[in-house]
Amino acid sequence: MSHLIDRVSNTIHVAKNGNNANGNGSLSVPYLTVPDGITAAAALGSGSIVAVWPGTYDCDVDGAITGNENVTIVGFGARGTVKITGVTTATLYTFPATGGSVWYISFELSPEADGKKIFTSTAGRHSFHCCKFKITSATNGIVSSYGSVSAGEIRLMRCRHEYDMTGTSGGSKDHKLIEVTGTGNVLSYSGEFKDKIADADDNLYTIHTTSTVADEMIIFNSKFLLTASNATYSGNVCALYNGTTTASLARNVEHCHIHCEATGGAGVTGTGMAFNAAHGNAIWHGTANRVLVEGFARNYFGNKTGHLISHGCDIVAPDGVVGTGTYTRVNFPSDGELDVDIIQLHDVMHSDQDFTALAVGESKTVVDVTLETDGSAGGDVHVIDVSIAGTAGSAEAVAVATHQDVDVIHQHLGDDVALDYAWSYDDSGTAYTNVTTNFNDAAADVQVFVADDDSIFIGVAAKYDEISVLLSINSSISITPTFGYSTADDTFTAFTPNDNTGGFVRSGIIRFSKDLAGWAAVQVNGQGNYYWIKILRTKNNLVTPPTVDKIQVRDTDVKFLSWDKLGNISGNTLGGIEQAADPSDPDSGKFTIWQSDGTGTGADGDILIKITDNGGTTKTTTLVTFAAI
């Protein structure tokens, strides 16, 4: 192959045995550095090639590389043997204004200061083919990137990316590995991203866009393996992040495997996000496709005013870990639309849940639905709707089935109770603000959890088991709350309620049991004695904190209706409809009660009972004679 290349008139060769002073760009007398090779190739005109042969080309020594629209740069040799490196160089490769492409080159950056990057594009359409980008640093606190695109389009075709910043940054930095701004575009085909950070509160965004161009950030057939490893991690791990506010934009993701993970000890409260978008689309196609999001602490598919569409593929979010509790939350905000088209469900949807560590007073929910109907003019909502298509066969159709030791229905009823006192606590200024009126009055909205470690305190003179939260502005992402209840020694004991506000990303109910061990009425900041619940924000980098419209509490034990595991039914009233015919005889050891319309046994309005003993004998008698009342 080298013999043929030497004969190509528009090819300039660069090799480690070359010489810029005496070389002519031929295979036998190559240039030594890539910048000199590009200069020579550009003079040959459109369609020229720079053939770079195996070796390490150091931009700190040779100079940064600026491409040329007439030149294609090609690495010749086994994959990974042609390397372009740098430590102090600001940008290893800058694309020209109108176009350019690079093939089979490994770019390796080892920065010792922030802001270094492998490529920059400010205009034109450019492409990397079968290239590798690797960024590591032995210096703590470094934030670098693969590149930035402020205009034009970058195409990453079959490229591999490795980012490993496992040192400590010392303070809440954003790792935007491919940053798209202005009118920039990014397309990745068959790419592979392996990105890792380790600082406790840094954020990792593989592709971060605020571009104003429609259809940018098109990612096809790519793999993402993103990890933040720290015992107390609390930042964001996000494959695709869209921070724009332009509603018409589209962000398309097809045939991808996305694994976002925040790992560490019990203190991990980080966020693993496959796709975060202010607007747009995340799309998966194909029966062989599997979109996997494994985030410890929180897992989100966030997509506002857009669509999340799945055609015949799996969307999986395993349990995360927060403190001593385990749960998974896949969040589709209420201002978006979830459209799931499942071609085959393989007959059964199955969920295994382990609640062996559930403590007294804690509450968990496997399927959690919150409905907001305030302001609706009518209509109805069926949370579960079961029907039979066509003519019913012999199979017994059952909408709800329970088994041994499982209660059938718990209906939690209770009147809203105003708070006796409520505090909002500013951790930075160690200041308490009285928000009792704000929480009790829907007309006096108040923003809460403004900064990390801010909290609210809810105090009521009597015990309660539900907190009803109505928000006028939802939190942009979960505040990653922790919960505590007041005890006699003036401390707060941590517990895990069922929080279907999703961390104040929507209105909802926070439910728990009144039987919290040691829950006591005490004073907080001189106010009491009340039973207090403390809610603490642990999430860093929250764009929009929640604004509370109203918070009230309920004691649902006052009106608790149930159908328990022994078949006992307790409730307020029992109603029925008059029957024109007598019911069938009940089975042995059972009875049936009905109201007659006078057509069958009994007069109109009478209430009757049929009883069958264990021997199979059935008798009928009148319980209430309507005419005698």
Read off the pLDDT of residues 54-73 as tens digits, 9 standing for 90 and up. Answer: 999 999 999 999 999 999 99
Runs of H (alpha helix) within 398-469 = 436-440
Please tell me whether residues 54 and 78 are part of one structural domain: yes
Helix (H, G, I), strand (E, B) or coil at 222: coil
- The answer to whether 464 and 557 are in contact (CB under 8 A) is no
Q: Tell me, yes or no, if the pTM score tops 0.75.
A: no
Same domain, 203 and 305: yes
Q: Do both 97 and 162 map to the same domain?
A: no
For residues 77 and 301, which has the higher predicted lDDT (pLDDT)? Answer: 77
CATH label of the domain that carries residue 442: 2.60.120
Two structure tokens written together for 221 = 């057939």
Same domain for 488 and 596?
A: no
Q: Which residues contact 543 (CB under 8 A, 6 or more apart)?
A: 476, 477
Domain co-membership, 157 together with 298: yes
How distant, in Å, are the alpha carbons of 89, 378, 432, 589 from that of 138?
A: 16, 63, 43, 79
Burial of 450 (0-12, 13-18, 19+ CB in 10 A): middle
Same domain, yes or no: 15 and 72: yes
For the residues 425-450, what does the mean pLDDT come to?
91
Residue 433, φ and ψ in degrees, nearest 5: -120, 130
Dump pLDDT digits (tens) for 379-406.
888 888 888 878 888 888 888 888 888 8
Give the mean pLDDT of the chain. 79
Angle at 244 between CA 317 and CA 178, to 5 degrees: 70
Minimum mean pLDDT range among 164-173, 249-258, 565-574, 580-589:
249-258
Provide the residue type at 593 as one letter.
I
Total number of domains constituting the chain: 4
| pLDDT one-digit tens code per residue, 316-351 | 333 332 222 222 333 333 333 333 333 333 345 556
DSSP 3-state of 333 = coil
Q: What is the pLDDT of residue 292?
A: 35
**366 occurs within a structural domain:** no
What is the Cα–Cα distance from 595 to 625, expressed in whole angstroms?
10
Confidence of residue 299 (pLDDT cuts 50, 70, 90): very low
Residue 279: band (very low, low, confident or very high) from pLDDT cuts 50, 70, 90: very low
Least confident of 244-253, 318-327, 525-534, 554-563: 318-327
What residues pair up with 523 in beta bridges, in sequence order? none
State yes or no: pLDDT of 596 exceeds 80: yes
- Of the three residues 81, 109, 137, the one that is the final residue of a domain is 109
Give yes or no: residues 128 and 214 share one domain: yes
| Same domain flag for 611 and 521 | no
Show which of 346, 363, 386 is a domain's final residue.
346
Most confident segment among 1-10, 167-176, 563-572? 563-572
Rounded CA-CA distance 458/420 in Å is 8
Residue 344 neighbours by CB distance under 10 Å: 7
Q: Is the pLDDT of residue 46 over 80?
A: yes
If you write DSSP's letter for every residue of 440-483 in order, what string do you get? H-TTS-EE---STT-EEEEEESS--SEEEEEEEE--SS---EEE
Q: Is residue 116 part of a domain?
A: no
Whether residue 131 is found in the same domain as residue 243:
yes
What's residue 140's pLDDT?
Answer: 76
- Does residue 407 sit within a domain? no
d(CA 510, CA 495): 12
Q: Find the farthest-apart pair of alpha carbons in the chain and give their distance in angstroms, rounded.
A: 122
Domain that residue 486 falls in: 421-560
What tokens does 448 get? 């809460």
Q: Do 537 and 581 share a domain, yes or no?
A: no
Q: Nearest-5° angle of CA 339, CA 499, CA 373?
A: 55
Q: What is the pLDDT of residues 491-503, one digit of tens each?
A: 999 998 988 888 9
92 is a domain residue: yes
Mean pLDDT of 541-550: 89
- Asked if 590 and 549 sit in the same domain, the reply is no
Q: Is the peptide bond before 529 cis (omega within 30 degrees of 0)?
A: yes
**Under 8 Å between Cβ of 543 and 476:** yes
Nearest alpha-carbon partner for 207 in 190, 228, 185: 185
What pLDDT sits at residue 421? Answer: 97
Distance between CA atoms of residues 627 and 598, nearest Å: 12
Q: Does the residue 383 lie in any domain?
A: no
Residue 156 lies in a domain: yes
Rounded Cα distance between 255 and 291, Å, is: 8
Look at residue 439 and tell me if it is in a domain.
yes
565 part of a folded domain: no
Same domain, 267 and 151: yes
What pLDDT sits at residue 308? 38
